[in-house]
Amino acid sequence: EADIYQTPRYLVIGTGKKITLECSQTMGHDKMYWYQQDPGMELHLIHYSYGVNSTEKGDLSSESTVSRIRTEHFPLTLESARPSHTSQYLCASSLAYTQYFGPGTRLTVL
């Protein structure tokens, strides 16, 4: 069983607010990822990190930013939330090939 956590699980927030989605893993994995998933659609990679102080943008353009100051922690920040940011955000980590996913954060921006 993978130990990867995301908070909050659900968030409803007004337009223009700054939000941070938290992701933590206790497995010591170097690689971590953020995906965005709309209902019934495929996952799109928005950010990834191969280790501390390493962050890269994924395939899907995103207005969010990430940081990797500690191995176990990979938060995602939206400086000014908009309704178009409404989606599910999934965090994952991996040591080799298998990715382990957190439960996700369902974000609604009104």
Partner 1 sequence: KQEVTQIPAALSVPEGENLVLNCSFTDSAIYNLQWFRQDPGKGLTSLLLIQSSQREQTSGRLNASLDKSSGRSTLYIAASQPGDSATYLCAVRGAQKLVFGQGTRLTINP
Binding site for partner 1 (CB under 8 A): 6, 40-45, 48, 58-59, 88, 90, 92, 97-104, 106
- Per-residue CA distances from 38 to 25, 85, 86, 90, 97 (Å): 24, 10, 8, 11, 24
Which of 95, 72, 80 is CA-nearest to residue 23? 72
- Closest to partner 1 by CB, 36 or 64: 36
CB of 105 to partner 1, least distance (A): 10
Q: Which is nearer to partner 1, 8 or 16 (CB)?
A: 8
Q: Least Å distance between CB 42 and partner 1?
A: 4
Q: How far is the CB of 80 from partner 1 (least distance, A)?
A: 26
Identify any residues that bridge with 34 across adjacent strands, giving them in sequence order.
47, 91
Write the DSSP symbol of residue 41: S
